[in-house]
Amino acid sequence: MYNQGIFRTWVPKLVQLLLIIIFISVIVPVNGIYIGNVSAMVGSTGMPSEYFVWASYGSTIGMGAAMPIILRMKFRYKIRDKVTFIFILIAILSYLNGTTDRPLLIVANSVIIGYLKMIVMLEFIIPIMFMISPEGNRGKFYSVFYPFSIIVSQLAGYILAIVAFDYNWQFVHIVSAVICLALALLAWIFMHDKYGGFKMPLHYIDWLSILLFVAMFMLGAYVLAFGKQLYWIHSPRIINASIASFVSLILLVIRQYTLKRPYLSFKLFRKNNVIHGLIMLLFTGMFLSTGSIQNIFTVGILGYDPVVNASLNLLMIPGIVAAGVYMNFWFKQGRGLKMFIFLGFSAMLAYTVMMYFSMSLEFNFERWILPMLLKGFGMGALFIAVWYYTLDKIPMDEMLAGAGLVLVWRTFFTVGIFSALFSWLQYQFQIEAVGNLAIYMDGNSISYSQVMGNMKAIQFNAILAANKRLLGYICIAGIGVLMYILAYHFGVERYKIYRGIKVTSDRRKHKAKFKRTQLQEIEDAAGAVI
């Protein structure tokens, strides 16, 4: 007997709603690594921060690897057994991450946690989608779910930063493990022990394709995470990882065309909206990567601790909520996505411009309110509208087969490549700024002790000059992005044909035919006379 619900029949509806909110509020922010605790992990383990950035990318790659087989995993096992087992496994992996000092183990665990997280998340996303939009309107669902998930992630990051600051970073992972065990107990008590539908076999899953998928992106993530430290192509490790990632890509593509049931479908990327959606997601990643510049400014110049730095993300919440409410109203009115996406990119550009003019040695905390509000609105608007447009009017089978690649593109590749690029450019600009400042220092007029005494101020001004120059280039690129959005048609016919044009065209054709007939008669008559 099948049961497409997730809870037992004796559980009241309000309790079911409360349980769904509890489960989704935990499973969305849970990860193998928490970015707000990276500095504490680096100081405690003595390992480079690049390992933990790599682990953060691994969580997203694991989620993308689970997307193509997510429905098959849903109908293969009983929901109670599956959810309980996954939460127990996530708890074990979180405990290992909190008790080990080996970064490679943390990286591997993060990939597995991301993979398991996506499988269990689907069980709660489907009922939430039907509660928000019973008619199946994806736009209405996105306008509620995406702001909720972003806000939950920001709140969880702030709370975990407080826990790590008051205790230690290991305690954060242990707390996560305890919470996952508690959710496993709730799942065992309240969830039914029936299949959600026809039992689907697992032997159709091509596990080799999954391994190639993970290997390809994890090797690429290694290049992006360690590129600056190893000096890019001057390092044999970076070259070998790049070649191995490219070979994995070739093998993955070849294997998909030789399988009867391929793991991935590339038909998705022939559609016009998907291609332009990926381009807009790339632009979104460019603006989101400005967070690394902001982090250099807040930690390196202003001296914020991890808790204060994490509290800046809370200032984005009003903007995220406003984006969700406005987008919901926008979908109800049946308006096109063009101007809403334009508003989202405009908000991100305004945030970048304000950051450009805010690069100084003194900056009040209250002055963060408006730029972070704009950043929150832009992030919420672009996450909702661009993702909706990218996967619009695509069948479910094609969407799941290609959404894993789109998810990894949106969350890992775009942010990762621009973060690596900005980090390298900021370092180069900083060296150049120090050289420019050194021009005004004369060894005959300034002693060595005076230079050493002012070294901190010199370094701070070099960082500010580098940040400002980089933000200026991003602002120029942002103007180009807005011009691209205005020029693109978003699937709407740019010019509408006048109804009477067919009549006019037929009349013109008739006149041309009549004229040709007359000319032919004249030519015939002239020929006869000659």
Domain ranges for the chain, please list them: 1-205, 268-490
Of 401 and 322, the structure prediction assigns the larger pLDDT to 322
Per residue in 184-199, pLDDT tens?
Answer: 999 898 887 877 666 6
Distance of CA 44 to the CA centre of its chain: 29
pLDDT tens digits, 349-408 = 999 999 998 888 888 888 899 999 999 999 988 888 888 888 877 777 677 777 778 888
pLDDT score recorded for residue 505: 62
Higher-confidence residue of 364 and 515: namely 364
Whether the pLDDT of residue 139 is over 70: the answer is yes
> DSSP states of 412-424 as a string?
IIHHHHHHHHHHH
Rounded CA-CA distance 191/271 in Å is 40
User: What residue type is assigned to position 497 of the chain?
Assistant: I
Looking at the chain, the whole-number percentage of residues with pLDDT higher than 70 is: 87
- Write the DSSP symbol of residue 411: I
Tally of CB atoms within 10 A around 482: 14
Predicted confidence at residue 527, as pLDDT, reads 39
With bands split at pLDDT 50, 70 and 90, how would you rate the model's confidence at 267? Answer: confident
Q: Distance between CA atoms of 145 and 27, rounded to whole angstroms?
A: 14
Check residue 530 and give its pLDDT.
34
Report percent pLDDT > 90 for the chain. 17
Write out the two tokens for 77.
């096992």
Q: What CATH number labels 268-490?
A: 1.20.1250
The answer to whether 146 and 380 have CB atoms below 8 angstroms apart is yes
Contact 343/381 with Cβ under 8 angstroms? yes
Tokens of 234: 């001057």
**Hey, do 1-205 and 268-490 end up sharing a CATH topology, with the first three levels equal?**
yes
Tens of pLDDT along 454-511?
677 778 888 888 899 999 999 999 999 999 988 887 766 554 444 444 545 666 666 6
Which carries the bigger pLDDT value, residue 45 or residue 188? 188
Residue 497 DSSP class: P
Contacts of 527 (CB under 8 A, 6+ apart): none
Distance CA 380, CA 317 (A): 9
The C-alpha torsion from 348 through 353 and 357 to 359, rounded to 10°, is: 50
Cα separation, 119 vs 506, in Å, equals: 60
- Are 413 and 405 contacting, i.e. CB atoms less than 8 angstroms apart? no
β-sheet bridge partners, residue 2 = 195
Residue 273 predicted with pLDDT over 60:
yes
Contact 213, 256 (CB under 8 A): no
Distances (CA, A) of 60 to 54, 57, 97, 425, 426: 10, 5, 17, 25, 26
One-letter amino acid for residue 129 of the chain: M
Domain 1-205 has CATH 1.20.1250.20: yes
The predicted pLDDT at position 265 comes to: 78
Task: Say if residues 478 and 349 touch (Cβ distance below 8 Å).
Answer: yes
pLDDT for position 12: 87
Judged by DSSP in three states, 191 sits in strand
* Residue 210 CB contacts under 8 Å (≥ 6 apart), including other chains: 65, 69, 263
Say which DSSP state 252 is in: H
Look up the pTM and report it: 0.83
Average the pLDDT over 52-59 and give the result.
88
Question: Would you tell me how many other CB atoms lie within 10 Å of the CB of residue 333?
Answer: 7
Cβ-contact 110, 59 below 8 angstroms: yes
| Residue 195: strand, helix, or coil | strand
- Residues whose CB falls within 8 Å of the CB of residue 134, separated by 6 or more in sequence, listed in order: none
3-state DSSP assignment of residue 24: helix
Q: Which residue has the tokens 């979104």?
A: 284
What the block records as the tokens of 51 is: 């390992």
